[in-house]
Structure 1
């Protein structure tokens, strides 16, 4: 195996293998190594951090890149670019991932390194597969497969078959994914010593059969993995498979069998000193016992919590508090249940803040590296021009022209990056603002009402009123969280449109039925005047979100016993949709706000709260689908929203 292939295998085997090399040992090794050796060690450290701390992973890759550039080691630069692309794929920064991988492909082509080209095509194929561009993904993976077959590289062929399986699994084509996974599995089965990838593959195949509803076959593959991994090096994989088996037995109602499997996983985790997996096994055991032995269930969860605290794993601790809340609820100890849920929410909030900070730091580091590499590339290009033996006048003119172009490109790119970073900060600030204000209010009100119910004596009518108020608070919080999630994801990851021909009548009918109860509570009649055959070209999820939110807003701001009408009309190459209500209406000032930005927080006719984020996201979805949106309104008489999509 070539040195290059050795490095690539080092990058792409599972992170469990890296866990065998302690981080402290890697850092100690750096002190006694020369620069070429340090490049490989920095890569290992970056791989160690890639899943949970992308900012640290990018930092160590940057350190290695500087050494590789100083040494003129283009091979290592290509390898590092592949790894940087892989880190950004893991954290869903697809544009950056594609840029790094394309740059790696360019490096390997210039080096005439066919193995590197094949690996880059593999990564581009997986990237397109995650983006649901299956045709492009298959084309790119076929290119790498062709090279591996021509060079009789069986390991490369297996990697590509596995990649094709992942592409079809992402698409949801279970049968095609199984075809490639099983083809890969057959090749591994001929080997005397099974690699880590073999056990991961058995786990994936088990998952796919589980999706098909074939639990028996899923268990067969998981058990096969457990039986063949009876060596210390594969303990992590075996424990994971035992956990999957237990979940299947629990799902099928075989509590005794599930309990025995979870206990076996716990025993293996203790034997081979896997504390995190011990905690997870204890959570699973507590889940089986909670219906029959709540005392033992709580004991197991408290043991798991001690492990999570010692490991400083807040996400694991949050899961344990959630499980404890379920057991306390089973015991009807609602006070302890509420305390456990509050601790769960506190830990999740702290994780959200930490993850957002790490994500933004990783983006900053990646952009900084890309900008630095472009600057270095520009300087190298100028150096090449200077070496040419040309007429002095031509050299001066060429250098001036190139310098002007490079400066323009550099300044333009810096401005764009600053704009993107500013937008990311605005997203962060908006998220924290909404979480801190719009969610804090309903949560605080709910807590006060619970406290009153716990300490005061109320009549049945008063309790009904309090419960009604609690329902409003929780419904408002849930609706805001859903919109906040959609908006935040669109801002951080960009709006991706998957256009297709849509039957709008069916989508609108579905949303009317979905919100029928909400309308009925206010005695609002919903009139569907949308004609059949109002087909459009657009993204299904975007159109569904637009209709649901406009209809929900209309119900929210329409008086009791009012009416809402939905209609559609074809105009040239577009279909214009209408949502008209007889509600409170929108002032001229707010209409201007809607045209320039988005509506501010407002309240419905029965105190329902709206954050304005939903309308802002609607505007972005309409624009992304090549449509337009506008409104007509008069205070006290109602509002009509219009939006258009390209006609089918």
Structure 2
């Protein structure tokens, strides 16, 4: 009878558990994994767990790991994913695809210096050479795997390579040498307590003992392996243990027991869909039935063996094609490297020629520079004289510019002094004319009051006139001082967000006594919600002058109203009276200081400065002022102030502003 050696060496690195809670645990972890690194690691672990249960599941998880590793740019994870895909195809019997993915994984491991990955991939590729019965090549790759594993002191990987070398030597018929390697590998696996490695070692030792006729020792080894594999629910290892027991009992002519083990082995292998091992199991059954004299059964299993052998043979052909393709790619890459070397050598030669040319050009340039130096040396003296002349010319130009600046500064100072002198003359003129009058009137009223000859009823009227005269003098003086400060740039504007209604109300409260003397009613209709950006003090001066003028030119018993309306970006404020109005030819003179002044309906005096101040303050606050009036039919003074930023976004009640109304 022909013995069949267990060739599944590359499975030593993996654990295939069927009906194991570990798979459920890993799938539960996968659902909660948040990072690509965690997901890749779980995909690879699940691929390993499903190898001996479901080829599709194992391959599917390995491919998911590959795609995610590519997206994440993780070379180490990509190498592991390629290796897992290769193992899945290897188990299924598609050796050409398995070899292709093993080599992909190996190239990445070599590129990133992953010694563990290189050792594993050399071992897996060696397994493929074993399947092709290319034992010398498999021994070469097992030794590479062993050398790397020893260098990184990976005992489990060392044991794996030694076990596989022992199996390769067994295939060469060197049973003593094979037995030595297998025992050493079993010792190392026992040392690191690698249970699956111990199972594989025991099965391989059992096969050697069967071949040597030591079938009872073989049964002991396979029973030990079967017990451990059953406890760990590793169906593939259980199948190999049963196969070993069938071979050992056949060797000992225990055909009934051999048949029992062989049939159970075939059943498990069919569930695992392991084509290579099915054809070996079928041949074992053929041999058993031949010895038992059941030729019909023997023929049935010989036919099954042939079917699966053809499948394996086709896989071997595919493997050879894949190897040839890889060889072609390697040779092509070598040729490309040679071409690159030739191109590099030609480039170096070209660089040398370019260097020689550059040296020659540099020498010619040096000669030309020397000639130029001699030529320009002869003209250096003349150039120096020219430079001196140019320097003197620059100095004269600078002096001229300085004189021009000084002249301009003196002229500006002269204009400023003339302006200040004009302000001074105007100031004294106002003091002499407008301020003197109210003070003289005040003095006369005080004199009359001091004589005590005024009846009591007229004394009250006299006090009222006295208070009005005093208030007018104060306001006149206030306007005068404010105007003087504006002329000399002495007013500081500090705009801020203020409520126009509040400013107007403060001014109305101040002017209420003056209005009461003429029985004039004051109405503040400005919207309390309207907020403007303006300087509060100058705005109150504008309100005070406009309302004071309205009182001044209103008839006794009249009314004055303050109103507001929103226009785009501005709040338009107005002061309307029912007084004497303004003649059309006077309107253009209103807003110029000292150009126009007239007495009120109660003979109130003015300085002619109030409206000029209003115009200047409104414009400095970013607005405009205008007037609408009909003679003897009242007047309306309008001015605008910018709405605050928050107020601009609110809905506005628009009212067109005529360009002719703005000054």
TM-score (structure 1 length as normaliser):
0.37
Of structures 1 and 2, the larger Rg is shown by: 2
Higher relative contact order, structure no. (Cα contacts within 8 Å, ≥ 6 residues apart): 2
TM-score (structure 2 length as normaliser):
0.37
